[in-house]
């Protein structure tokens, strides 16, 4: 039976979806993945084992074909909240309506959805309300829905875990607002995936709302203390009577890679106790034994320590500016291009490996202090800053965050294009190419593109051009030297 079922997975560029696909393949289900930009699936280890369809949940005409002959559809889509929470809420609702209507028309047997834990009778935050209302909308079409509700998902690269991790590691004495003492029941990502996969073979989970959590009911303060204990850190927590979500989100903005626009809706939800009230999960899934929070942290750290992070919270965004579509670069009026070329002794693969390892813990070849300063200035004006690092020290794929860049295109052994996500008056890219010559040398091509926005954009480019010129010329020289040295 399991070999015949076809599962559609949405949100595959996101944290949960990207990890669910290989679990379904392990169970020998037929897997179809939906993405509005299939180019962003490049580099996934499972890409050749699945059927890929390009569709957009906000474009209802694209959905029926994507859902054709699907038995079970996983709905793992959630807008990344930003300045206008009402706008993102409406997008979530409309997307769910479109998806469930198309699923009904294509006779999909079930939708499995992962929502947010919280007592609906409490004064839930808009973020948590939106997650639960999305489940309601999915049910309205008449397709049976299995809705799991979870609180914080603990795993290497998850947004909530990364917030706890960075705050604990970087702040030895923490001023803690009241929300730090709210109760929460965090769950390990491994357990979440177990529930999502096991639900397929359990008919009794149809039309059920199932609350899932780990074995620990603790406070957020406990989460930081336990994280510190696991990692051999000593931390002091000082409670304060008030600290608004706005102030807290700015604190997170500066101390972690998570920008304030994404941190605020998360923090607003922390005022609510989010613990499992029903034992349905235990009854329906007796074979699943949820981990304690401490064990979940240990498993996450093992992944991080071995650079084995499958997905991260920022994978889901095309850009940290929201749903802005990537730009296809063309030579056209108004686009400033600054290109430098060096011929080096080495293979194109060696050259590619060198420039594709830039950033994160590896740093940048020259003026590291300047890159960090640019990140600080970006944070001061609400940008993403420089702390996001990179998912893996040597591997990149389309959609990966890399400090204040985003990988927009990558061709192994040949090309890497980064799109700037720091705040600039225009749009900017940095591109590297490795072009082989006939004499066992390779051309290292480094190109900076800038599309200025208005007069201020032009003033920005030409005002900083001497500084940019120094950095970029020094960078390609340093890369060339590094390649030559490694090849000697």
What digits encode the pLDDT tens for the residues 106-139? 999 999 999 988 888 888 877 788 889 999 999 9
Greatest mean pLDDT range, 243-247, 374-378, 429-433:
429-433
- The confidence score (pLDDT) of residue 188 equals 93
Per the model's pLDDT, the better-predicted residue between 370 and 454 turns out to be: 370
CATH of 6-316, one of 3.40.50.720, 3.40.50.1980, 3.40.710.10, 1.10.3190.10: 3.40.50.720
The segment(s) of the chain belonging to CATH 3.30.530.20 are 336-487
In sequence order, the 6+-apart residues with CB closer than 8 A to the CB of 39 are: 398, 409
Who has greater pLDDT, 313 or 417?
417
Most confident segment among 146-150, 327-331, 341-345, 418-422? 146-150
What is the spatial distance between Cα 135 and Cα 367, in angstroms, rounded to a whole number? 49
- Tell me where in the chain the CATH 3.40.50.720 domain(s) lie: 6-316
Q: Each residue of 349-362: pLDDT tens digit?
A: 999 999 999 888 88
Domain 336-487 sits in which CATH superfamily? START domain (3.30.530.20)
Q: Are 442 and 414 in contact (CB under 8 A)?
A: no
Between the CA of residue 351 and those of 108, 202, 370, 441, 442, what are the distances in Å? Answer: 48, 51, 24, 10, 8
Q: Please choose, from the candidates 228, 441, 275, the residue with its C-alpha nearest in 3D space to the C-alpha of residue 346.
A: 441
Contact 363, 456 (CB under 8 A): no
Quote the CA–CA distance of 66 and 70 in Å, as a whole number: 8
Element (H, E) at 146: strand 145-150
* Spacing of C-alpha 42 from chain mean position: 15
pLDDT > 60? residue 363: yes
Which residues contact residue 366 at a Cβ distance below 8 angstroms, ignoring those fewer than 6 apart?
Answer: 471, 474, 475, 478
Q: What is the dihedral of CA 368, 374, 380, 386, to 10 degrees?
A: -50
pLDDT at 267 over 80: no
User: What's the confidence (pLDDT) of residue 362?
Assistant: 86
Q: What percent of the chain has pLDDT over 70?
A: 84
Query: How large is the average pLDDT for residues 146-168?
Result: 84
Task: State how far the Cα of 234 lies from the Cα of 231, in Å rounded to an integer.
Answer: 9
Q: What percent of the chain has pLDDT over 90?
A: 35
Scan for tokens 């960075």, then name that residue: 166
Q: Are strands 405-411 and 415-420 parallel, antiparallel or unpaired?
A: antiparallel
114: β partners: 148
Please, what is the Cα angle at 364 between 363 and 368, to 5 degrees? 90
Distance of alpha carbon 9 from the chain centroid: 16
Least confident segment among 189-193, 194-198, 273-277, 424-428:
424-428
Which residue do the tokens 């194109």 mark? 348
Residue 310's pLDDT is what?
A: 59
Nearest Cα neighbor of 165 from 265, 269, 312 is: 312
For residue 381, the Cα-to-chain-centroid distance in whole angstroms is 22
Q: Which one of 57-71, 157-171, 417-431, 451-465 scores highest in mean pLDDT?
A: 57-71
Alpha carbons 88 and 82: distance in angstroms, whole number: 8
**The pLDDT of residue 162:** 78
Q: Where is pLDDT greater, at 28 or 260?
A: 28
pLDDT tens digits along 23-79: 999 999 999 999 988 877 877 889 999 999 999 999 999 999 999 999 999 999 876
Q: Which pTM value belongs to this model?
A: 0.70
Q: Are 106 and 64 in contact (CB under 8 A)?
A: yes
Of 84 and 348, the one with more pLDDT: 348
Contact between 423 and 378 (Cβ < 8 Å): yes
* Separation of alpha carbons 417 and 328, rounded Å: 11
Number of neighbours of residue 26 by Cβ within 10 angstroms = 9
Higher pLDDT, 415 or 241: 415
pLDDT (tens digit, 9 = 90+) per residue, 280-339? 999 999 999 999 999 999 988 887 665 555 555 455 554 444 444 433 333 344 567 788
Rg of the chain's alpha carbons, rounded to an integer? 23
The phi and psi torsions of 227 (rounded to 5 degrees) equal: -60, -45
Please count the other Cβ atoms lying within 10 Å of the Cβ belonging to residue 465.
13
Kindly report the average pLDDT of the chain as a whole number.
83
Helix, strand, coil percentages (3-state) for the chain, rounded to 5, are 45, 20, 35
């Amino acid at each position: 039976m399991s070999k015949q079922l076809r599962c559609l997975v949405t949100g595959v560029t996101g944290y949960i979806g990207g990890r669910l696909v290989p679990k379904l393949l392990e169970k020998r289900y037929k897997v179809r993945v939906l993405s509005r930009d299939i180019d962003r699936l490049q580099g996934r280890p499972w890409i050749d084992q699945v059927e890929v369809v390009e569709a957009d949940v906000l474009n209802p005409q694209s959905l029926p074909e994507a859902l054709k002959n699907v038995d079970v559809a996983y709905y793992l889509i959630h807008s990344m909240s930003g300045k206008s929470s009402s706008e993102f809420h409406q997008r979530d609702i409309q997307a769910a309506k479109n998806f469930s209507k198309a699923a009904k028309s294509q006779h999909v047997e079930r939708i499995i959805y992962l929502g947010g834990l919280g007592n609906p009778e409490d004064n839930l935050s808009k973020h948590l309300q939106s997650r639960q209302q999305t489940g309601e909308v999915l049910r309205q079409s008449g397709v049976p829905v299995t809705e799991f509700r979870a609180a914080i998902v603990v795993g290497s690269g998850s947004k909530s875990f990364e917030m706890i991790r960075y705050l604990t590691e970087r702040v030895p004495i923490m001023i803690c607002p009241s929300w730090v003492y709210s109760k929460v029941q965090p769950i390990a990502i491994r357990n979440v995936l177990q529930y999502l996969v096991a639900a397929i073979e359990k008919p009794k989970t149809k039309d059920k709302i199932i609350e899932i959590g780990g074995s620990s009911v603790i406070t957020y303060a406990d989460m930081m203390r336990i994280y510190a204990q696991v990692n051999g850190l000593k931390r002091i927590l000082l409670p304060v009577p008030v600290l608004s979500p706005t102030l807290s989100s700015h604190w997170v903005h500066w101390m972690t890679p998570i920008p304030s626009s994404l941190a605020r809706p998360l923090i607003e939800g922390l005022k609510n106790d989010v613990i499992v009230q029903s034992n349905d999960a235990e009854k329906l899934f007796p074979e699943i034994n949820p981990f304690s929070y401490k064990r979940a942290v240990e498993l996450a750290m093992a992944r991080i320590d071995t650079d084995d992070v499958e997905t991260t919270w920022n994978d889901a965004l095309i850009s940290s500016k929201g749903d802005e579509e990537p730009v296809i670069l063309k030579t056209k009026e108004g686009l400033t291009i600054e290109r430098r070329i060096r011929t080096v002794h080495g293979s194109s693969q060696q050259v590619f490996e060198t420039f594709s390892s830039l950033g994160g813990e590896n740093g940048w070849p020259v003026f590291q202090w300047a890159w960090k300063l640019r990140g600080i200035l970006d944070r001061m004006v609400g940008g993403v800053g420089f702390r996001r690092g990179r998912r893996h020290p040597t591997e990149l794929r389309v959609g990966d965050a890399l400090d204040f860049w985003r990988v927009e295109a990558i061709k192994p052994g040949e090309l890497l294009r980064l799109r700037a996500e720091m705040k600039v008056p225009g749009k900017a890219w940095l591109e590297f190419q490795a072009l082989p010559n006939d004499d066992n040398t390779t051309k290292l091509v480094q190109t900076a593109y800038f599309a200025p926005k208005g007069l201020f954009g032009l003033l920005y480019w030409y005002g900083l051009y001497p500084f940019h010129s120094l950095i970029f010329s020094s960078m390609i020289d340093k890369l060339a030297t590094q390649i030559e040295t490694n090849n000697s």
